[in-house]
A and B are shown apart, each in its own frame.
Chain A
Amino acid sequence: MIEVKGLVKTYGTKRAVDGVTFSVRRGDILGFLGPNGAGKSTTMKVITGYLPPTAGSVTVDGIDVTQDPVATKRRIGYLPESAPAYGEMTVTEYLNFLADIRGYRTKETRRVQVERAIGLTHLDGVRRQTIETLSKGYRQRVGFAQALLHDPAVLVLDEPTDGLDPNQKYEVRLLIRQMAAEKAVILSTHILEEVDAICNRVIIISQGKLVCDETPEKMHARKAGARLDEIFRQLTLTDV
């Protein structure tokens, strides 16, 4: 579903992403790890078409993101870091606006999509509240509902469980796992146990370079008995 080939992204003279290559198939839940500033968010921003790549290519469902950005954006559900949203709108107004833009032009089809997303993310209790009055956890869920709204084939989630309490984290993970069978999911995280809990593949990048692309089991096998964070430390130690 997603093919990233030799992706390079530079900001001024700084190379944020330096020749990253990987692919994500349908059914994959890819855990995207790396220290802060390693280039995780930048890679996601290029995949979702927010930033143009400096070099290399990204295709989603066979379509290059620079050739036909609107077509790839239709296929992607994206939860940006810290889940930005139009704060002055209520939850239903916001989701209705997004459904409209996602091509659900009749009131009835919009309602179906919005209700589905609200149901999946348990937002029913706050649907008439404006987003700026919601707590961090609820805001994160609104962002999640926004990403799931059009039932996209590709989900790109930048720290989806950030700011959630343990119960909410559990629910979000359950939700991702349930949907993963027919989707390609990329999620970035700092929580290493999350990788064990839901991911079937792990990618670690450090200083913009790929240092590891394998299954969580294989990663555990790198050092028998060691915890995941020890292995992570070893792989990214140069990046301090």
Chain B
Amino acid sequence: MSQICPLFKREFLGYFRSPVAYVFLVAFVVISVSLSFSPFGGFFGSNDASVRLYFSFYPWLFLFLVPAVGMRLWSEERRTGTIELLFTLPVTRLEAVLGKFFAAWAFLTLAILSSLTLAFTIAYLGQPDWGVVFSTYLGAILMAGGYLGVCSLMSALTKNQVISFVLGLIACGALLMLGFSGFTATLESFLPVAAADAIANFSFSTHFEGFTRGIIDARDVVFFLSLMGFTLFLNVVALDR
């Protein structure tokens, strides 16, 4: 497992060797902040000193931005042929998958934490509950890992980054929609209620919501961690083909 470290370093620093990192980080902050300040966000109107409204857009934001980070993870290696180099180095597939995943996750975490300035601004203007702020950030980071696991898997399936992006978008979109009442109502119309409820349980948004209200529920944490574990396992299998 010690091989994860050099892989992680190469991948993480790799984001900063090209403009990708800077473009992404700036886009992430600008889009997320302007969404919450927009009429849809109603950040000022809410008269509430919390980051809850800001983070309410995160499941939607991640739907587009996480596939953008995850699409290149394996597609790029396949396209440029470096995958042959990587897998003739003394590393196991699992180490390679984890090294890359953790690097991308760390990068997303950096993007999420770059919004801390907003939390500080709120603290300057009012009295936010720092416990809730903390749980919200934790939830966002865990949710980013869940999205990323799915996107990393999709990226391992193709050498075309566009296909990888679209597949990631569809898969994450499905996992996100499961939580919305309209979608579950449709499911209930032809499935038993218990089955529909079970499926709705796999949604990002329902598991994220608790965090934004300051509740760190073990079930939510386990959901995101097991989603990561499962997709990364499939990722290793997909690369074994």
Point out residues on A near B: beta carbons under 8 Å.
45, 48-50, 69-71, 73-74, 76, 78, 80, 82, 84-89, 97-98, 100-103, 130, 146
Contacts and interface: CB of A to CB of B under 8 A. Distances in A.
Nearest to A70: B90
| Interface footprint category on B | 20 to 34
Contacts of A146: 85
Main secondary structure of the interface of B (DSSP, over half): helix
Contact of B80 (A45, A87, A103): A87
B81 A84 contact: yes
Listed residue (B14, B84, B92) with the most chain A CB atoms within 10 angstroms of its CB: B84
Interface string B77-119: 0001110110111111000000000000000000000000000
Interface in B3-44: 3, 5-7, 9-10, 14, 17-18
A97 B82 CA distance: 14
Contact of A85 (B85, B88, B90): B85
B17 A45 contact: no
A80 B91 contact: no
A179 to B, nearest CB: 19
Contact of A98 (B18, B80, B89, B92): B89
Contacts of B85: 78, 80, 84-85, 146
A224 B6 CA distance: 55
Interface of B: 3, 5-7, 9-10, 14, 17-18, 80-82, 84-85, 87-92
B17 A101 contact: no
Top 6 A-B pairs ranked by shortest CB distance? Answer: A84-B81, A100-B6, A73-B90, A48-B88, A88-B17, A74-B90
Given A80-B84, A87-B80, A97-B6, A102 B89 contact: yes
B82 A86 contact: yes
A97 B90 contact: no
Given A89-B17, A101-B3, A84 B91 contact: no
A133 to B, nearest CB: 13
Contacts of B90: 70-71, 73-74, 101-103
A201 B18 CA distance: 45
A101 B7 contact: yes
Nearest to B99: A101
Contacts of B3: 101
A80 B91 CA distance: 17
B237 to A, nearest CB: 14
B15 to A, nearest CB: 10
Given A70-B90, A89-B17, 5 more contacts: A85-B82, A86-B10, A86-B14, A88-B14, A101-B89
Contacts of A74: 90
A76 B88 contact: yes
Listed residue (A78, A88, A103) with the most chain B CB atoms within 10 angstroms of its CB: A88
A84 B82 contact: yes
A95 B88 CA distance: 15
A50 B82 contact: no
Contacts of A82: 81
A173 to B, nearest CB: 23
Nearest to A72: B90
B80 A78 contact: no
A73 B88 contact: yes
A101 B6 contact: yes
A102 B3 CA distance: 9
B18 A88 contact: yes
B17 to A, nearest CB: 5
Contacts of B82: 84-86
